[in-house]
Structure 1
Amino acid sequence: MSLAEIADVRLEGGGVMFQYLLLQLEWDAERRTIVRGLNYQPYVGKIEEQIVKSAREELGENGFFEKGGDLQIGGGGSVAFNLYYENITLFGSNPTYGMEEDRDAVAKMIESAYPEHEVSWYGPEPPDSSSEPPDSNSKE
């Protein structure tokens, strides 16, 4: 088995709203990043555990862990998947693992997996600058 044989992106469960995780795989000096997501609807809480469980089952079928493979979670967020308008939007951050470091790279992975869809993204909203205390070094 080679890590190249594992699909880059898999969004399971139908629907339009998904929670996804970025999973970093390492096996036999080879590294690979994959995206796995599940539809929110069937799960009440602990969706991250379901995503990891599903990924572990998928990898386990190929003997990944028996052969010394390692899986780390590199953050995640939400996906709005609009089949009618053929667009996909990544947003927010995962409440347990935070936002992945490079959302643009994740968007490109999803764009490759769904070339007929327009893919866009944004991160968590920046803090409101008006709520910051005034600079203590100002001369006002």
Structure 2
Amino acid sequence: MMNSKKIRIIKLKDPQLRRVRKNLRDIIKLAAKDEIKRLLEITSNCLKKGKDISSEEQIKFTQYSRECNQLMSALSSSIIQCSSGAECDSLEEAIKQGFNPKDRPTDLDMVWIPYYQKLFCLKCYESTFYDSTYRNESEDPYADPYYKDSCKL
């Protein structure tokens, strides 16, 4: 997690670096999903036993469940995918192009928003968080008469 107090845009322009970044993100994502799948299979086997589970198996069950939850949380808050989840603009666009919704796009430029302590894709940032006052820096953001009246001393 970043400790920056400013909004940071993480953007690559070089196509070779973008390809390397996407491949690394895909590898990490696949490894994390495989481990989550393995942990879920172990916990489901423990649940199938029901009341016949020993105290040692209960401890392992809670340990595996906690590990699985931590891994899913780490994956969702990482730079691998947008923190908007199912509301991600890039995901919606990928679905329209025929991608499987489970295969979230990983080739995205990301934006760190310190208020939320999360990373969002550039499209979600522009459509949701990017205020119109930042689009044209030559305009005075305090030119709005309502804002001027509320700031008078």
Normalising by the smaller structure, the TM-score range is under 0.3
Larger Rg over CA atoms? 2
Question: Which structure has the highest helix share of the two?
Answer: 2
Instruction: Give the alignment's TM-score, normalised by structure 2.
Output: 0.22
Which structure would you say has the larger RCO, counting Cα contacts within 8 Å and 6 or more residues apart?
2
